Amino acid sequence: MPFIPGLLEAAYAAGRTGRHLIVVWMDGGMSHLDTLDPKPSAGADIRGPLEAVRSSLDGAMVTEPLSGLGKLLDRCCVVRSITSPEGNHDRGSHYMLTGRRPSPLLTFPSLGSLVARTVQPSSGVPAYVAIPEAHEYARQGYLPARFGPFDVGGDPGRPDFSVRDLDPSPGLESTLSAVEMLRAIQGGPRSKDEASREFFLGQAQAISTSRHVQDLFDLNKERPEIRQAYGRHRLGQSCLLARRLVEGGVRVVLVRDQGWDHHVNIGQALTYGFPPRLTAMNQALSELILDLERRGLSEKVTLLLATEFGRTPRLNPSGGRDHWSRASSCLLFGAGIRRGQLIGETDDRGEEPVFQPVSPADVFATLLRAMGLPADERLQSPDGRPVPVIDPHATLIEDMLA
Amino acid sequence: MDRGRCPAVSISSHRRMKIRSESAVSANGSSIQPVAVMTLIILVLSTLLSPGSEPALESPYKAGPGWDFRTDVLPVLASSGCSSAECHGSATGRGGFRLSLFGTDPLADYDSITRGSFGRRIDLRNPAQSLVLLKPTRQIPHEGGEIFREDSTQHAHLLAWIRDGAPWRSGPEKSIRSVTLEMTPSHRLRLTGEFSVGGEGPQFFDVSVMAAFSSTAPAVASVDATGLVSVNGPGEAYLIGRFAGLTHRIAFREPFGPAGLAGTDAGAPGNFVQSSPMDAIWAECLNRTGLSIPSRAEAWRVARRLYLSVAGRPPFPEELDVFHQLVRNAEADADTDPLDSAVADAIERALSSPSYDTRWGHWAAEWLEVKVTPERPDSGAMGRLESMLSERVARDGSLLDLASEVLGANRDFSYLKRYADPRDRSEFVGRALLGVRIGCARCHNHPDDRWTRMDHLGFSAAFSNFDLEQQGSYQSSFSKTPVLDIGKTPSNYPGMMAGMQSGNFKTDGDRLYLPGTGHAVEPVLLSFEEGNKGLKSIPAAGAHDSSLAGWLRNDARLQFSRNIANRIFGHLTGFFPVSPEDDHRSSNPALYEPLLDHLAREFEKSGFRLKPFIRYVAASRLFQMGGADEEEGSLPSMHSYQYLAAWQPVPLDVFAWTQSLSSVLGVPLPPLETQENPLSMQLSLLNSGWIERILRIPGNQFEALGLFTADSDRQRLVELYRMLFSVELDDALAAALLETVSGGSAKPLTGDQWEQLFKALVLSPEFCFVR
């Protein structure tokens, strides 16, 4: 068994808080200086091309394209002092998404999979969904495959978007009847592997035959004005889909927004395009927060906006910023999270934390606590070693918790 | 010496001073460090100011007179669990106090205990107030709780050591050569250490009281801290005793039933004939475990399993016909086994099938970590490598030769160039070619691993100036570089360890430097000989076969054979004697070690070639064993699978499943476009229309079946079933299936309905697993 059976019950019990999680992952390394931690007093080579504006959270500023989101920060918790030694995309992502520094021997389970573990299998609704697909390190790691994410694929921002292969093929009922008959002829599962495959086949059948589950993935079921409010772009519609899914029973949704690795001309990369990246972020995140509140979901759903690392304070000769793991920011909102909380501070150049430095492991551990999961649980690695769910050196960020 | 009778003040005062200075010299190789000097001064002052010291205690735990930190102190911490992975032995320690895992790095531990945290952990003036005693007895808060009591022997032992000045060593040097574990009739483990005390020996001491004991399978047998073994269920476990960085293990078996079933009629069909030495070993293993030899699988299943496992596809109908005909012919001869000649014929057919080359080329690529992405299956360096491996497999050359090329100068392979960091190169060689996780030692020493962090560095250094232009041999530049012998202790050991922990290495593309020392590491190679420390020096330049390939062929040959034999056997049967495949180590023994030993020797005997070895395994009774009995509504008993007493269904991955389907249809198939996760895969198969599309590929066998051979739906279904599952479908069941799909209609199935039925058939476990 890849996990300790006795602890599974404990995990289920802990999971009864029923909290859901949405992770918006800015893939590539979102610049902290150009988003949640601008340095308006620094020189132009550090400040960058974007203006900073005050937010509704005391002491926190955002860059001007994020001013809408800035007005909502008094409902959120902003962490500006994440510091990590991992400045490579893979390693940084592993650290942030699993709460563990990478090991050459073990890929750790992601936050999403750890939460998905606590969900009793139900008819058809996947426990963990990734939009459009999960990062390599947002998967189940060494846990069984059933705790991994279901990747929807495609681009939710496209008018013709639909999740692949959900609609039942013609004659599916007939096929499923034959499958049942064959089971009677050939016998049931004869091993754990056969039982696991049966589980996924059963889940696929349930999804294919459940209008409710198919509707969850159908953005056309949303009113046009709501779709418009989130923004008719990839990030906006992804966030809307995430809200639909958690509202419909999915426990964890990961929205992966790729393309944040801005080594060249970062000002232009963030503010031009269709739509400009920061404009899309501002619109999507703001509307997601407001929508969760309007629907009474802010006490049931925890939201995390995160990335693998920050970017170099000084603009490089190409006008871009390179990888910088000594300082980065994240934003949290919703269930279990203290409202209007600002954690940590970086120096005048945004180089490193000068107050309340925290590690990705600290954020991870605290988020698990906010989700109501046990912090002292141990899993068993495939080779039989006991592995604590949380990095033993992680420290709880008390100020982050409601 | 009975120190308890000595005048405590004068003797111990002098003694402490002497011992302390000795320890400083000893710990650092050549000189007293500033911290040590300061400690010495404090010690002298404390001694002078001390109103009197308690008489030193002679502990019953020690092996011989005096103290040796490595053998007299560290084991207490290990057996108490202080240096376990869950406590201070974790990679980064706990609560600011770090010990090596189970005391495998004595020098670092001594430094941490006596000098770490500004020396606060040891109170020489008032030994009982030392943190190392107050914490585990919970006289002050301790996150790990109470580890031992104040009146315990562990406490008395550590207190005595501190009272004696907490020396690295006092008295004669004690070195331990080996430990031997045995179990007494009362089910208590006893660990005996062979010591050399003061250069004399061997002397034997019972070190059980300071040993740490564990079991590889607590569900079979667990062992408590005192070494008492509890039997919890039938099966096989290895019990491990650990002391001073040494381990010894013994096998423990609790039979499932009365032993002696092998080769008899009891509980098994009486027709078991040992067709090969491998079968004899297997039978003996089952016998010792008290498990019956399983019955042979039905003939059709043997044929199907053989083609699927060897050639990656079910047998073609005409191959099945030949198989059954050969069985029928042999049945007339009472002296021969009716299946043997059919099996031998089928093996040859499967081995000469083109799909064999594809299948085993694919596995070889996986062993060598060649990753071909689905988006670019045929392009790029990885695609070329995979094609080349398939071609090599088809030629059936020696895999040892192939591995030598990986280490050598074959430009077409360029394997090691994939890694910039020498540590990545060495770890790849460990994993892929030898099945050992030398990478475990990148972060910390592990008591169950043969190699330490320093060994890992030394082995990595062997790859630091690896130059493909130089035919894989070593450069001479090391002779010009200040080189650190990894067998000796560097002068700034703690700083170096901290540098290693942070991963702060320096390489200049030519050499690997130790952090903070300015020294390059002396390259060494791994050795797998029993009884040595597991390392081998680099051969001198110009020596015979001084290349990496030479090392593989000579020193690592048997381990290479164990690794590859374990993998081949696993891919054929689904049972990997050592699992995970890349984790051969003493604390992860093979289930049925004698079987793996034999397989390794057999693979070597076959010239490290795939085909002879596959032929040998596939012809065995073991390969032809039947499945487990099904229990109503539940999975069969898993121990039958776990102990190789029943055939466990082997899942086909996407590659194998598609290859199998392509072979049945007789046409190449387009890639199945789906996300990677299993739910997406099942959704795609059900709803994407891919199966319907492949059935419309011109010239496929399914189409031909409908056009030429079938007079009726039932006949067509029976033929199709045989193509897919290698067995006849009963007429009544065929009728029932047809009725299910047609919805009870008496009309012939429509084309769409046939597609729906075909889909159900290829989604069934019988098609997705090798049963």
Nearest residue of chain B to residue A151 (CA atoms): B675
Is the predicted pLDDT of residue B672 greater than 60, yes or no? yes
CA distance B78 to B246: 12
Q: How far apart are CA B759 and CA A179, in angstroms?
A: 9
Residue B510 confidence (pLDDT) = 56
- Are A186 and B766 an interchain contact pair (Cβ–Cβ within 8 Å)? yes
Structure tokens at B651: 């899942």
Q: How confident is the model at residue B487 (pLDDT cuts 50, 70, 90)?
A: very low
Q: Are strands A150-151 and A386-388 parallel, antiparallel or unpaired?
A: unpaired
- Confidence at residue B205, expressed as pLDDT on a 0 to 100 scale: 85
- The rounded percent of chain B whose pLDDT value lies above 90 is 26
Sorted by where each begins, the domain ranges of chain A are: 5-163+217-400, 164-215
- Whether the CB of A103 is below 8 Å from some CB of chain B: the reply is yes
Q: Least CA distance to A139: which residue of chain B?
A: B677
Q: Shortest CB distance from B687 goes to which of A145, A165, A192?
A: A165
**pLDDT (average), residues A24-45:** 96
Q: Which of A180, A201, A209, A250 to mutate to test the interface with B (most CBs of B within 10 A)?
A: A201
Sequence-distant (≥ 6) Cβ neighbours of residue B739 within 8 angstroms = none
User: Under a CB-based contact definition with an 8 Å cutoff, are residues B493 and B108 in contact?
Assistant: yes
pLDDT per residue over B399-458, tens digit each? 998 888 877 755 555 677 777 777 888 899 999 999 998 887 876 666 667 788 778 888
CA distance A280 to A35: 13
Higher pLDDT, B73 or B521: B73
Distances (CA, A) of B235 to A385, B159, B285, B640, B645: 20, 42, 11, 10, 12
Say if A5 is an interface residue toward chain B (CB within 8 Å): no
Higher pLDDT, B672 or A140: A140
Interchain contact, B90 vs A392, CB within 8 Å = yes
Mean pLDDT across chain A, nearest whole number? 90
Contact call for A149 and B216, based on CB within 8 A: no
| Furthest CA-CA distance within chain B | 110
**Residue B192 corresponds to which tokens in the numbers above?**
């005996």
Q: Is A90 on the interface with B (CB under 8 A)?
A: no
Q: Mean pLDDT throughout B17-43?
A: 35
CB contact under 8 A, B630 and A181: no
- Residues A227-275: pLDDT tens digits? 999 999 999 999 999 999 999 999 999 999 999 999 999 999 999 988 9
**What's the pLDDT at B744?**
80
The answer to whether residue A127 scores a pLDDT higher than 90 is: yes
Q: Which of residues 157-176 of A touch B (CB under 8 A)?
A: 164-172, 174-176
Do B263 and B272 touch, CB atoms closer than 8 A? yes
Across the interface, of A175, A187, A382, the residue whose CB is closest to B756 is A175
- Tell me, what's the pLDDT at B247? 80
The yes-or-no verdict on residue A123 having pLDDT over 80 is: no
Mutate to test the interface with A, among B220, B686, B767 (most CBs of A within 10 A): B686
Kindly state whether A183 is in contact with chain B, defined as any CB-CB distance less than 8 angstroms. Answer: yes
**Nearest Cβ partner for A197 among B94, B687, B765:** B765
Average pLDDT over residues B542-558: 77
Q: CA A139 to CA A94: how far, in whole Å?
A: 10
Instruction: Report the pLDDT averaged over residues B240-245.
Output: 80
Residues of A in contact with B757 (CB under 8 A): 174-175, 178
Provide the token pair at A123.
Answer: 């008819």
- When pLDDT is averaged across residues B607-615 and rounded to a whole number, the result is 96
Q: What is the mean pLDDT of chain B?
A: 77
> In chain B, what residues touch A196 (CB-CB under 8 Å)?
678
pLDDT at B56: 36
Instruction: Say how many C-beta atoms besides its own lie within 10 A of residue B52's C-beta.
Output: 9
pLDDT for residue B477 is more than 70: no
> What percent of chain A stands above pLDDT 70?
94
Residues A84-109 have pLDDT tens digits of 988 889 889 999 999 998 876 678 99
Token pair 């404009």: residue = A279
Hey, are the CB atoms on B677 and A151 less than 8 Å from each other?
Answer: yes
Would you state the pLDDT for residue B598?
Answer: 97
pLDDT of residue B514: 67
Q: State which residue of chain A sits closest to B686, comparing Cα positions.
A: A169
Alpha carbon of A165: minimum distance to chain B alpha carbons (Å): 5
Rounded CA-CA distance B293/B284 in Å is 10
Contact B761 A205 (CB under 8 A): no
Chain-chain contact of A187 with B761 (C-beta, under 8 angstroms): no
pLDDT of residue B494: 52
A165 vs B contacts (CB less than 8 Å): 674, 680, 683-684, 686-688
Does residue B50 carry a pLDDT above 50?
no
Q: Which of B676, B679, B765 sits opposite A186 (nearest CB)?
A: B765
Q: Which fold has domain B174-254?
A: Immunoglobulin-like (2.60.40)
pLDDT tens digit string along B673-699?
A: 877 788 998 999 999 999 999 999 998
Q: Degrees (nearest 5) of the Cα angle B78, B81, B84? A: 80
Q: With an 8 Å Cβ cutoff, is A383 touching chain B? A: yes
- Partners of A177 on chain B (C-beta within 8 Å) are 740-741
A102 reaches B (C-beta below 8 A): no
Residue A185 scores a pLDDT above 70: yes
**Quick check: A123 contacting B, CB < 8 Å?**
no
Query: Please, what sign has the CA dihedral across residues B678, B684, B686, B692?
Result: negative
Rg over alpha carbons for chain A, rounded to the nearest Å, is 21
Per-residue pLDDT at B767 exceeds 90: yes
Alpha-carbon distance B632 to nearest alpha carbon in chain A (angstroms) = 9
Q: Are A230 and A283 in contact (CB under 8 A)?
A: yes
B314 has a pLDDT exceeding 60 = yes
Picking from A293, A295, A305, A369, the residue whose alpha carbon sits closest to that of residue A332 is A305
Q: Do A195 and B635 touch (CB under 8 A)?
A: yes
Does the CB of A120 have a partner CB in chain B at under 8 Å? no
Q: What residue of A is the nearest CA neighbor of B217? A: A384
Between CA B455 and CA B490 the distance in angstroms is 14
**Residue from the list A103, A171, A183 with its beta carbon closest to the beta carbon of B753:** A171
Contact B625, B275 (CB under 8 A): no
Beta carbons within 8 Å of B360's beta carbon, 6+ residues apart = B390, B393, B610
B56 or B169, higher pLDDT:
B169
Query: According to the model, what pLDDT value does residue B81 have?
Result: 77
Q: What confidence tens digit (pLDDT) does each residue in A62-79 have?
A: 999 999 999 999 999 999
Would you say residue B723 has pLDDT above 80?
yes
Give the whole-angstrom CA distance, residue B245 versus residue B101.
9
What pLDDT does B498 receive? 52
* pLDDT band at residue A158 using 50, 70 and 90 as cut-offs: very high
Name the minimum distance, in Å, from the CA of A6 to any CA of chain B.
14
Alpha-carbon distance B22 to nearest alpha carbon in chain A (angstroms): 36
Question: Across residues B332-355, what is the average pLDDT?
Answer: 90
Residue B500 has pLDDT above 80, yes or no: no
Residue A226, pLDDT score: 97
Q: Which of residues 125-144 of A touch B (CB under 8 A)?
A: 126, 133
A contact residues 190-249, partner B, Cβ 8 Å cutoff: 190-198, 200-201, 203-205, 207-208
- The distance from CA B247 to its chain's CA centroid, rounded to whole angstroms, is 17
Listed by start position, the domains of chain B span 3-170, 174-254, 299-326+342-393, 400-547, 558-620, 654-770
- pLDDT tens for A211-228 read 889 999 999 999 999 999
Q: Do B687 and A386 touch (CB under 8 A)?
A: no
Q: A164 to chain B: which residues are within 8 Å by CB?
A: 674-675, 680, 683-684, 688
Span of A183-187, B104-108, B219-223, B512-516 with lowest mean pLDDT: B512-516
Cβ-defined contact of A181 to B759 (cutoff 8 Å): no
Instruction: Confirm if B215 and B237 have CB atoms less than 8 A apart.
Output: yes
Q: What is the pLDDT, as a whole number, of residue A14? A: 41
**How many CB contacts within 8 angstroms connect chain A with chain B?**
169
Q: B530 pLDDT band (50/70/90 cuts)?
A: low
Instruction: Grade residue B91 by pLDDT with cuts at 50, 70 and 90.
Output: low
Residues A272-310: tens digit of each pLDDT: 988 999 999 999 999 999 999 999 999 999 999 999 999
Which amino acid is it at B537? Answer: S
Task: List pLDDT tens digits, range B559-581.
Answer: 999 999 999 999 999 999 998 88
Contact B675 A207 (CB under 8 A): no
Higher pLDDT, B538 or B588: B588
A199 CB neighbour count, 10 Å cutoff: 18
**Which residues in chain B are contacts of A192 at CB distance < 8 A?**
635, 638
Cβ–Cβ of B760/A182 closer than 8 Å? yes
Mean pLDDT of A10-32: 78
Inter-chain touch A151–B680, beta carbons under 8 Å: yes
Q: Taking CB atoms and an 8 Å limit, are B741 and A166 in contact across chains?
A: no
Least confident of B171-180, B352-361, B736-745, B753-762: B171-180
CATH class of the domain comprising A5-163+217-400 = alpha beta
Q: In chain A, which residue's Cα lies nearest the Cα of B427?
A: A104
Minimal Cα distance from A201: which residue of B? B682
Is some CB atom of chain B closer than 8 A to the CB atom of A6?
Answer: no
